Structure 1
Amino acid sequence: MIKPKTTKKETRQELESLVEEFIKAKGEIQQVDMGESGLVDGKYNTSHIGFSEPRQDRTPLNHVVAAIQHKKHPPSSSSAPKTNKTRPKKKVIYDDFGEPLRWVWEDE
């Protein structure tokens, strides 16, 4: 059986009721400055930031990128400009009462 999704309104009501229950049970809500919860001893926790190793040299791959771009968009072999060929259009032929009879192809 699939559970029905809860709406935003139901989620808000549930959170509000949980907060009210917490306060009624002599709970206390502390006000914390923005960003303070991410601080360790008043400083940002930098132990997880990966700048401890020296910077590594990167291998230039410009020729590989150029080869891929060349495959994607090969240069056109003809120097003549392309002409737009008009394609025939399908047109409906109706009878006297407005009912469709058949389709015909017309050149534009």
Structure 2
Amino acid sequence: MIKPKTTKRDTRKELESLVDQFIREKGEIQHIDMGESGLIDGKYNTSHIGFGEPKQDRTPLNHVVAAIQQRKKPTPPPRPAPRRPKKKIIYDDFGDPLRWVWEE
């Protein structure tokens, strides 16, 4: 039997019931200031913030891209499908069929 997927609504209901159960059992929710959990030695962790550095110049590599494009082999044109021989009928002088001939 396949277990049905849990929906967002089910997940929300489960979380709400867990929070309500925690509060009913005399649990206390503490207020924590924004960013406080990210403090390292009393300071904010700024190692992941990359906007404080000046913009770096990029090295143009147009000549490298051009060299790579030149080295690429051109794709060969598609080969035509091999022609199949056709059956042709030979008629006599009176228009009656005589025989079949295969033509390429």
- Superposition TM-score tier, normalisation by shorter sequence: 0.3 to 0.5
- The higher radius of gyration belongs to 2
Please report the TM-score for the alignment, with normalisation by the length of structure 1: 0.44
